[in-house]
Amino acid sequence: MTGELSPIDKAKFAAAKRAVDFVEDGMRVGLGTGSTAAWMVRCLGEMVREDGLKIKGVPTSVRTAELARQVGIEVISLDEAKWLDLTIDGADEFDADLNLIKGGGGALLQEKIVATASDQMIVIADTAKEVATLGAFPLPVEVIPFGWQTTRALIDEALINLDVMGREVTLRMNGEAPFVTDEGNHILDLHLKRIGNPRQLSLVVNQIPGVVENGLFIDICDVVVVGHGDGKVEVRDINAGTVEEEKIDFLEGDNLFNDL
């Protein structure tokens, strides 16, 4: 079955398969959103069904919650969990300091809340997500619908004084209508091309009235697991300063692929 997967999907699967090794029995685990995180949820579901792993999952979106329930993971809210042992999620970009851009799937608010309520955040990604400088991927900013055009104008003005290469701001659409997040908000995508000072940008943008949260994750990620199309994975621990390489075997009969 894995022979039918593209190299990118194999890389995502390899990263997800390695990342779930961090999960132990009895843990409360934040479950990320996106294509790579979906592989991770399926891997955890297989461990629950086949190995008897007992965990409680806190999803970061409605669609992740639905998938988690489908694969047999017990789902609870963050209020019920109060604090998490671990969160595993994907990223749209990450740099050498493991700072991230997230929110391409529109779940950045819940993702950031869940990640910061965890003892550890592990990011799973393919090699294409690694960048020297953040910003090639448009930065998502979640805003309330009321007065969103005013909020966009204030963001436009703020960007003039920030270290960025581009300043185009667009409203994310879903067909003919604005995209709506799980919290009922809109998303403005900031096409910055290069972010010279992510920390400053995050602080400035979040001070603008109407902004709920932005997709910069600064000093939140502890470990990134980078997957390659041949099954190789790199585990980079920012706190320990270590990089480990392993090889993940693709099992043709893996139940994980039955629902794809």
Query: Does the annotation list 242 as a binding residue?
Result: no
In terms of DSSP bridges, do strands 211-214 and 93-94 run parallel, antiparallel, or are they unpaired? unpaired
Q: Is 91 annotated as a binding residue?
A: yes
102 is in an annotated binding site: yes
Which has the closest alpha carbon to 95: 219, 239, 201? 219
Chain-centre distance for alpha carbon 151: 25
254 is in an annotated binding site: no
**CA 139 to CA 153: how far, in whole Å?**
16
Name, in order, each residue with C-beta under 8 angstroms of 69's C-beta and a sequence gap of 6 or more. Answer: 75
Residue 170 annotated as binding site: no
* CB-count exposure of residue 128 (10 Å: 0-12, 13-18, 19+): exposed
77 a known binding residue?
no
Q: Which residue has the tokens 């079955």?
A: 1
Q: Is 135 annotated in some ligand binding site?
A: no
Q: Is 103 annotated as a binding residue?
A: yes
Catalytic residue among 46, 93, 111, 213: 111
- Could you give the CA distance from residue 119 to residue 114 in angstroms, rounded to a whole number? 10
Is 33 annotated in a binding site? The answer is yes
Enumerate the β-bridge partners of residue 31: 59, 88
Kindly tell me the burial class for residue 102, based on how many C-beta atoms sit within 10 Å of its own C-beta (0-12, 13-18, 19 or more). Answer: buried
Question: Annotated catalytic, 111?
Answer: yes
Non-local (6+) Cβ contacts of 12 within 8 A are 35, 36, 39, 90, 124, 125, 126, 227
Looking at the annotation, which residues are catalytic?
111
Binding residues for substrate: 33-36, 89-92, 102-105, 129
Binding residues: 33-36, 89-92, 102-105, 129
